[in-house]
Amino acid sequence: MTRFIERHPAWALIVLIAVAVLLWLILAVWPPGLEEAFGRKRVFLNAVFNGITLGGLYFLVASGFTLIFGLMRNVNLAHGSLYLFGGYIGYAISAWTGSWILGFVIAFLGVALVGIVLQIVVFRRMEGQDLRQTMVTIGLSIVFADLMLWAFGGDFYQIQTPSWLVGPIELPLVTAVRSSGEAVYLRYPMVRLVIFVAAVVIGIAMWLALNRTRVGMMVRAGVDDRDMLAATGVPIQLVFVAVFALGAGLAGIAGVVGGTFQSISPGEDTRFLLASLVVVIVGGMGSIPGAALGAVIIGLAEQLGSVYIPTYAIVVTFLIMVLVLALRPQGLLARR
Amino acid sequence: MSLVQGTHPQTSQPAKARAILLAWPEFNKPAVWLVAVILLIMPFIANGFFLIEIFATTMILGTIALSLMFLAGYGGMVSLMQLTVAGFAAYMVAVFGMSANTNISLGWPWWLATPMALLLATAFGTLGGALAVRTEGIYTIMITLAIGAAFYYFTNQNWAIFGGHTGINTVATPKFWGVDWRSDIPFYYVTLGVAAFCYFAVQYVSRAPFGLALQGVRDNPRRMAALGFNVNAHRVAAYAFAAFIAALGGVLQVWNYRQISPGSVSVGACIDILIIAVVGGISRPVGPYIGAFIFVILRTFALDLLVKFGLDGNRFRLLIGLGFLAIVFWSSDGVIGLWERWRRRAAATDARPSGGKPHG
């Protein structure tokens, strides 16, 4: 952080000002002039919160994608299918048992299992062949999409939010002041906040596991020189299978989250594959903090865009990607 | 190829013909002439359905896939946005030309609207390419896929220019010299002509200095840069050329269906183009057309076929996906690669009739 400020003082200043303006917009009571020009504060706050929590969901999908790519150089364009599959499993389990949490567990395990099979059957045979991996996973995603369409039909499924998470909670953020001087506070769906916090916890845990533990060290060493690591007696294929299972399982969890926030239907697989592509392009391939930053930026851009410039919302996301590619082709937080 | 011409400055007439044959080895094979003749007399053999639904569609999809083949085969850049460029051209034809949606269409005559569409689509493809060449390999795939998806979602949302979810309908097609060029037989010849033009253009460019430099860039960019070639400029130029070809395909497509909507530029359709090119083979320009033919045949008849075998007819995409998987698993060069491997094996067994398995 300090190195970044030293190297790019101008950029650091711009970022600082942007963050300060955003914080002021969130915390302060808006003066009437601003409300007239910009719309009501409640709308803005809702868009910001939706953007950040959507960012949490994007992070869950993209972190698995970037973990598999960054650490093992495996290009898995079937990642969106894993997301959708997780969503369907989560729906089936929670509708059958009535337990939302169990849906997460089974979705994680089930999708992780698919990931392990993929790693052993597909990726291990084509190590280092980027293009073939891409083609094969594209083919797989077509097959998966059709199999899921076969099994679940073209319907929209929504996963039921458990009763203890239903309903909004009041946040200590003032949206407006009534004429009587009484402050109106923001009400926001609890389930979204809880899931967002869970995504943050998962992200921090993952970063710590990779950077502060022996297993994480092995994984990173294996990426750089797998022969040497294997020679030191580490069961490297086992480590890689574990990482793949984790990455795939995260996509499965994200599927359940997505099914709770929004809905699960055919076509969501490509949508989330693309979201994770854009997120990791913006954030930087193979970097967990990059995925987090990219996810929040894209989530915010999407939600604020769809509120304030609905026709061009997608262009904003795209422009961010273009801008990042033009200024920093490797992504904002990539190490390269 | 060019050496032959260079060493004989004063070539006589037969030698010149020989040089042309050496530069275009295709003309030396009887099979090629046979295919050309069959394609030319096709309207006398096939009925309207086959002419348009099978052959014209094959030509159009093949031309769009050809632009991907040019980038991937000669430039080593797999671009998933070629259909997007084609779709952009199609949209531009509808926007500048005449259609039922008078709020959007500017009502230009076709001979003005079409060049405009080609120009803008080429510019669009070149810009996208300029973005994509900042990255390499798998990143290129991801970025071009993201561009394609962004365009799809944009057309879906934007009602002012792109007509939103319903798209633009009843696009006018050219009529001049007393011919309605969209009626079956003239349109077939138009698509055949464009496809042949694109095929030979790609073939020619691949042997021209630019194409050779591009192949050098594909094989060893660092070395080409050291030799003084501007690597990125070559790559962007390749994108521009491919964009023009894709745009031609897009114009034909909008004339064929007389309408354009977001569904025709969806991500699935972008991936279909990749499937077509890979299944046919991306080492030679003929590959995309073979791939497109297989794809169109499957798409048209898979339903009947599946039902005949007592299966669900809707599983067409499953069939395509499994076929695609099989091809990429076993042959890196699609149908052409399989065919060549088979011929080599046949040749090897012919050469040694005493038996024994060929080596390698």
pLDDT of residue B241: 92
Tens digits of residue pLDDT in B266-315: 888 888 898 888 888 888 888 888 888 888 888 888 777 777 776 666 67
What sign has the CA pseudo-torsion B141, B144, B150, B153?
negative
CA distance B9 to chain A (A): 44
| Residues on chain A bordering chain B, Cβ-to-Cβ distance under 8 angstroms | 75, 130-132, 134-136, 138-140, 142-143, 145-147, 150, 270, 274, 277-278, 281, 285, 310-315, 317-318, 321-322, 325-326, 329
Residue with tokens 């970037």: A66
Q: Is B164 left (phi over 0), alpha (psi -120 to 50) or beta?
A: left
CA distance B359 to B352: 12
Cβ-proximal residues to A335 (8 Å cutoff; 6+ apart), any chain: A284, A286, A287
Tens digits of residue pLDDT in B130-146: 888 877 777 788 788 88
CA distance A153 to chain B (A): 11
Q: Do B315 and A146 make contact, defined as CB atoms within 8 angstroms?
A: yes
Please identify every stretch of chain A with a pLDDT value under 50, giving residue numbers as ranges.
none
Nearest residue to B138 (alpha-carbon basis) of A277, A210, A33: A277
Of B134, B145, B312, the CB nearest to A329: B134
CA distance B235 to B136: 11
Nearest residue to A291 (alpha-carbon basis) of A213, A204, A220, A224: A204
Indicate the residue type of A38. Answer: F
Tens digits of residue pLDDT in B219-230: 888 888 888 888
CA distance B24 to B207: 10
Q: What are phi and psi of B162, to 5 degrees?
A: -105, 5
Q: What are phi and psi of B167, to 5 degrees?
A: 75, -160
pLDDT of residue B244: 92
Residue B161 Cα distances to A318, B84, B287, angstroms: 18, 16, 35
Residues from chain A contacting residue B128 (CB–CB below 8 Å): none
What is B107-170 written as a DSSP string? Answer: ---HHHHHHHHHHHHHHHHHHHHHHHTTS-THHHHHHHHHHHHHHHHHHHH--SSS-GGG-B-S
Nearest residue to A305 (alpha-carbon basis) of A19, A21, A48, A37: A48
Mean pLDDT of B112-129: 89
CA distance B23 to chain A (A): 31
pLDDT of residue B294: 85
Lowest mean pLDDT among A44-53, A106-115, B26-35, B333-342: B26-35
CA distance A38 to B352: 83
CA distance A30 to A20: 15
Nearest residue to B139 (alpha-carbon basis) of A75, A335, A35, A14: A75
Q: Do A150 and B150 make contact, defined as CB atoms within 8 angstroms?
A: no
Nearest residue to B114 (alpha-carbon basis) of B63, B71, B174: B174
Tens digits of residue pLDDT in A67-94: 888 777 777 888 999 999 999 999 998 8
Instruction: Identify the bridge partners of residue A174 per DSSP, sorted by sequence position.
Output: A185
Structure tokens at A21: 């303006």
CA distance B124 to B90: 13
CA distance B50 to chain A (A): 27
CA distance B320 to A138: 12
Contact with chain A for residue B317, Cβ under 8 A: yes
Nearest residue to B248 (alpha-carbon basis) of B117, B74, B124: B117
CA distance B234 to chain A (A): 19
DSSP conformation class of B175:
E
Q: Is the pLDDT of residue B7 over 70?
A: no
Q: Do A270 and B159 make contact, defined as CB atoms within 8 angstroms?
A: no
Neighbours of B221 (CB within 10 A): 17
CA distance A293 to chain B (A): 18
Q: Do A139 and B139 make contact, defined as CB atoms within 8 angstroms?
A: no
pLDDT of residue A120: 87
Mean pLDDT of B194-210: 87
Residues from chain B contacting residue A272 (CB–CB below 8 Å): none
Which of B10-24, B82-96, B312-326 reaches the highest mean pLDDT? B82-96
Which residue on chain B is closest to A330 by alpha carbon?
B135
Indicate the residue type of B34. Answer: L
This model of the complex carries an ipTM of 0.74
Helix, strand and coil percent figures for chain A, each rounded to 5: 75, 5, 20
pLDDT of residue B14: 66
CA distance A35 to B181: 57
CA distance B261 to chain A (A): 16
Residues from chain A contacting residue B146 (CB–CB below 8 Å): 274, 277-278, 281, 318, 321
Mean pLDDT of chain B: 79
Mutation target vs B (from A133, A135, A322; most B CBs, 10 A cutoff):
A135
Mutation target vs B (from A79, A318, A328, A336; most B CBs, 10 A cutoff):
A318
Nearest residue to B131 (alpha-carbon basis) of B115, B118, B111, B150: B150
Neighbours of A109 (CB within 10 A): 13
Residues from chain B contacting residue A140 (CB–CB below 8 Å): 321, 325
Nearest residue to B276 (alpha-carbon basis) of B299, B254, B260, B259: B299
CA distance A89 to A112: 12
End-to-end CA separation in angstroms for chain A: 16
Residues from chain B contacting residue A321 (CB–CB below 8 Å): 143, 146, 150
Residues from chain A contacting residue B278 (CB–CB below 8 Å): 135
Of A140, A270, A310, the CB nearest to B325: A140
Q: Do B131 and A326 make contact, defined as CB atoms within 8 angstroms?
A: yes
Q: Is the pLDDT of residue B199 over 70?
A: yes
DSSP conformation class of B244:
H
